[in-house]
Each structure stands twice: as C-alpha cells, then as structure tokens.
Amino acid sequence: MIRFFSGRPSSAYLVGGYLRDRMLFRTPSSDLDLAVEGNSEAIARELAATLSAKFAPVNPARGVFRVTSPVQEAQPEEPAWSIDLKGYSGDIQEDLAQRDFTVDAMALALDNGLLDSWSTDNWSESVIDPFNGRQDLAGKRIRTVSSGVFQDDPGRLLRSIRLVAQLGFRLDPDTATLIRKDAHRLEEAPSERSRDEFLTILSLDGAMGHLEVLDRLDLLCRLIPELAATKGVDQPQVHYWDVWGHTMHCVEEAELVTKGHLNSPIYMFVPWTPESAAHFSQEAGDGHTRAVMLKLAALFHDIGKPQTKTLEADGRTRFFGHSELGASMVEDRLTQLRMSSRSITLIAKMVEHHLRPNNISKGVELPTPRAVHRYFRDLGDAAVDTVYLAIADYLATNGPTLSLEHWSSHARMMGHILESHAQQPVPTGQNRLINGHDLIEHLGVEPGPLIGQILEKIVEAQSTGEIHTRKEALALAKDSLPTQRRRE
C-alpha cells in the first residue's frame, strides 16, 4: 500500500486511529486512515483495483471512501483489513485542524523512507503534530482540536466517550465542558452512528461506569430519553436502589455474570459452562455479541416502571404491566436508533419476560419439566439470555444486602432451568413420534388448528419424558380430542 502512494504526484498521509494506536501500543492495526490530496474517490477505486479489494463509499459528501479486503479471502493468519481515504486540498495541517481530537490530529507522510524506518522508532520523529497530540497520548488525555468540533459533527460527542472507554484515557476538563455545552446537538447526529458508538461503549468492560459518565455529560438521557423518568423512582424495600440505581447496577451485573465464576464467593454460584461462554460470544445483531445485548436488555428491563407505578391501599408499591410496557418502549426506541429487527426482537422479548424465570416455580420448589419446556418454547432464541437477565436482576435488586443463602438458592433454581432444558431436547422431524398425517389417518381429524394443538401437546410430553412410543403418542392424541369428537 505504501508503494502504491510512493512517488505519486498527489500526497498521502497516515492519520487518525492507526497512527495513534501505533504510537500508543506499538502494535500493527488492520484498519488504516489516510488523508489523500486530490480526488479521493478515484484514488480509492484505483487502490481497490490494485489490491484486488472492495470499494465502498462511507461519507461521499466529505470525500470519505473505504477499501476493504474481500471477506472470503481473509485467513486467520491474514485478518480482514480496511483503509479509509479522505480527500483534502491545500496543506495537510489545514486538514488536521478540521479533525476532532488531538490524538487523532497527527499525520505521517507515506513515502519510501517509511518502509525503511517502520520497524524502528525513527519514523516517529517525522510525525506532523501541530496540536500536541503526542503529549496528550503520553498524558492519556482526550482533548479537542478546537472549540467547534461538536458543532461541526455532533457524532463526535459519543465518539469522545468511546475513545475514553476504549483507551482507558480521561477527558480534558475543557473538553468535558464543551461536551455538556453541545450535548443538545446529539439529536442531530445520524442515528446509525449514535447506535454504533453507543453499542461499542456498552461492549467494553466497566459499562456501568461508562454509562454514568455519559449521564454526567448529559448524553445518556438524550440518547435514551425514557431513562430520565427512572431517576428517583422509589421501589419496595426488597430493592436496595431506586429504579435508576437498580438499572445501572443491573447493567453491571449483566456484564459480570457472563464472565464466569471470577474466583468470587458470589459469582461462583452463577451457572456457567463452556456452552454458556460459547452462547454469549455468538454474534446477536448489529455486529455485537449476546453478552452486549444482555447489557442492553438490562439497561431497558425496568424502563416501564415509572409509568406503571401504583401505591396500593396496604401501602405496597406495585408496577403491574411494566414488563409489557417496557417491551413496547424498547421496540420504539431501538427502532429510532436503527437497530436491526433481530436485535430489537431479542431485547424486547427479554424485557417482556425478564420476571418469568423467577415465576415458573412455586416457592422453593424447582420448576417442573413441563414448566421448563413451555418456558423455552415460548421464549425461543431469547430463553437462555433471559435466565441470565433474571440472575443479574436478582443481584442488582439486593445489592450490598445480598444473602448468600438466598442467592445460592436462586442461582440453583436458574441453573436447574438451564440443565433441565439441556436434558429434554425438543424432538423434530423424524425424531417425532407422530406427525399431522398420522393424526388425520388414525383419528380422522380434519386439517386445522386442532392438529397443531395436539401435536404441540405430544411434543411437550415426549420432550419431558412422559411418553416414549408411537402407541403412547396416539393414545395421548386421542385423549386430547374434544369429548364430542372422542365419542364419534
């Protein structure tokens, strides 16, 4: 790539995150940012052709285009890469003055000399750094290039916190003041960009702390306005925090319960297996894993409480219907954030049913196989995730008052739900004892909804081990017919 630009009439510079990370971590990155003089689209297309790569526009209005390696050609030892090219005219320092943060407002000319010095530290002496970005790197500080960076691009508001969280840096005080001053501009940022920045923030360790920073800077409740109403909403005594505090701590617990046992007297009770780890590492939507979606569900799980709060005659506080209302609010908000339908469906179902894992048993009795079957049948893809949301919810409800005896009992019940389901695989295809044609042939049942109802009952009985043979399945089917139909 360097050879492509070396000796060309137009100038090209390494800028942005790649250069920052190379200076900070001394490790190569697979994502490059380039500033090119001239027609950036034409240069990007030519580069893509030279590298047999893909070309895609990112922000044509600002002259930003992307060249990426074909996914099917990326091998484990040669991971996928991308190169973002942004056009500029005039002096490179003028381009750097239009960037957001000093640690990304540095540049390094691409020429043959770079090839010779890249493996040493000599190249760093050639870095163009008009805003003291290297000094801010050393001080682990995120600082704006100018006072107008958020006015020019409101998407930078969330980006600032994402960089702080990602790099483990701190905000420059003047930059924090600018963010609070321009926080109202967040609604002007493209929804897709806000979504991506926010999900990345949520994906990082210490998500609760990052959310609290967003709130102090007046960004969180502008992104998710429904959260503002949860502040100061008292709950029954069983809850240690109000709805807002409980929500924040539920996000924290959702992160911790998917990290294994952590050599902790608390988290050692969390049901966790290699299968659990594999489940939460799956991509669930919008480029993020189930573990991230669990944290997002935790953020939304009690979003409907302020609107449903009632004070009963006996003095008890209730939130009837908050789960169902919350699911509806999730669909509205996440749709506005342009999240995928797959993600929205998963989060909404988790929020709607987050109390159900606690309610499928009676008292301290373990749930029956039939109750477990129906739980997994109804929740489908969200069933396992919702169990872990219930675990996080329990821990965030009790907080410092957590009783290890009661907690271990609750964790055992949640583990039983997961284990019981693993031991009762749902029969499909040829594994089913009978099918709809059998019902029509042997019982004389006409095609219709009744067929599906009887088959579901048989599948449930087979899954829970109540029946094992075709004869037993037909007998159950006959018993399941309406009384008049059985007499006929």
Question: Residue 295 contacts by C-beta under 8 Å, 6 or more apart in sequence?
Answer: 202, 203, 207, 251, 254, 255
Asked, colleague to colleague, whether 1-133 and 140-223 share their fold, the answer is no
Closest to 413 in 3D by CA, of 344, 367, 375:
367
Cβ-based burial of 367 (10 A; exposed 0-12, middle 13-18, buried ≥19): buried
The CATH number that domain 140-223 falls under is 1.10.110.30
As a whole number of Å, the end-to-end CA separation of the chain is 80
Q: What is the pTM of this model?
A: 0.86
pLDDT tens by residue, 18-64: 888 888 877 767 788 899 988 999 999 999 998 889 999 988 888 89
pLDDT tens by residue, 14-25: 898 888 888 887
Report helix, strand or coil for 126.
helix
The architecture of the domain spanning 1-133 is 2-Layer Sandwich (3.30)
The reported pLDDT for the residue numbered 120 is 62
For the chain, what are the domain ranges?
1-133, 140-223, 244-422, 429-487
Cβ-based burial of 33 (10 A; exposed 0-12, middle 13-18, buried ≥19): buried
Q: SS3 breakdown of the chain: % helix, strand, coil, rounded to 5?
A: 60, 10, 30
Torsion angle of C-alpha atoms 403, 405, 407, 410, degrees rounded to 10: -140
8 Å CB contact between 177 and 205 = no
The reported pLDDT for the residue numbered 484 is 43
8 Å CB contact between 407 and 266 = yes
Q: What is the mean pLDDT of each run of 10 residues along the chain (488 residues)?
A: 64 86 77 89 92 89 88 58 88 91 91 61 82 95 97 95 96 98 96 96 97 98 97 91 97 97 93 96 95 98 96 85 97 97 97 95 80 91 97 97 94 93 70 76 76 80 78 79 54
**Location of structure tokens 């002096």:** 91
- From CA 130, how far away is CA 102, in angstroms rounded? 9
The encoded tokens of residue 164 equal 């702080």
Q: Please report which helix (H) or strand (E) contains residue 487, including its range.
A: helix 483-487
The encoded tokens of residue 277 equal 């780890």
The reported pLDDT for the residue numbered 72 is 53
- From CA 216, how far away is CA 164, in angstroms rounded? 14
β 31-37/317-318 pair status = unpaired
Q: Please report which helix (H) or strand (E) contains residue 24, including its range.
A: helix 16-25
